[in-house]
Amino acid sequence: MRPQDYPLPSPFEDAINQSERFLFEFDPHQDAQFDELLKKAACYPPGTNVKAKINPNTYAYLDKISKVPPKEWIGLKPWAIATLVLRHPGYEKVRHYFGIEGYVQRRAAKHRGGFGGLETPAEHVRVLADMQDIESEVYLLQALVYADQGPKEFEENVAAWKAGDVNRLYSIESARMKEAPSIYWRLLDRRNANWMPRIDAAIKAGKPTMIVVGALHFAGPHGLLAMLKGRGYQVEQL
């Protein structure tokens, strides 16, 4: 997020203060392992490059808009270019440091700080790395096509997230989900299903636990909130 997105609404601070354990998508203590795995997964093997793997029109457009020479990214897979290279000028003030994950880590470490992950770093990397070539190119194309909408939608997403409006969050992304259902199944639905037994175990352990994952994981018919309700849990929004 950005500096101006703080302070957070009081329920977030209350949750941090009342929690004794903090579960993230993967354990933040394993950041170095994740970075290493991501770098390896992002690159094609020697003798292969992205120009040979995507539509010539996609490559030509990418080459046209790129602010760095192709040698900087030609060896990367399309999903890696979209994730690691592309950066729209509307995001100058957006920093990972200001993201909720980092904020919770810094706050939690000061008082309790029992950290864990809902998936391993390897599982987290495979969400993108296991994409088929066509899915990877669609992922890149969506990043290019929706680039100009991104900054405006970012504002809307942050506002909806702060208000706890999961329906609005879902509606903002719904068009892209319909265009690329298999990609969003990889990014959201499959992971939610894989996480549920671990979340269920955390609840049954009886230790107050804060779960910090991407906002869209809580939204939609296959979101974590819907799955928890389906398992008979009472979900209350603070």
pLDDT tens digit sequence for 88-121: 777 777 888 999 999 999 998 876 668 999 999 9
Q: What is the 3-state secondary structure (H, E, C) of the chain?
A: CCHHHCCCCHHHHHHHHHCCEEEECCCHHHHHHHHHHHHHHHECCCCCCHHHCCCHHHHHHHHHHCCCCHHHCCCECHHHHHHHHCCCHHHCCCCHHHCHHHHHHHHHHCCCCEEEECCCHHHHHHHHHCCCHHHHHHHHHHHHHCHHHHHHHHHHHHHHHHHCCHHHHHHHHHHHHHHCHHHHHHHHHHHHHHHHHHHHHHHHCCCCEEEECCHHHHCCCCCHHHHHHHCCCCCCCC
- Residue identified by tokens 């809902």 is 118
Contact 114, 22 (CB under 8 A): yes
The CA dihedral of 140, 121, 107, 88, to the nearest 10 degrees, is -10
The pLDDT value recorded for residue 132 is 95
pLDDT at 197: 96
**Threshold 0.85, pTM exceeds:** yes
Given a cut of 90, is residue 233 above it in pLDDT? yes
CA 189 to chain centre: 13
pLDDT band at 148 (very low <50, low <70, confident <90, very high): confident
What digits encode the pLDDT tens for the residues 172-228?
999 899 999 999 999 999 999 999 999 999 999 999 999 999 999 999 999 999 999
- Report the C-alpha gap between 156 and 168 in whole angstroms: 9
Instruction: Judge whether residue 137 has pLDDT over 70.
Output: yes
The predicted structure's pLDDT at residue 140: 95
Mean pLDDT of 138-157: 90
Q: Is the pLDDT of residue 151 over 90?
A: no
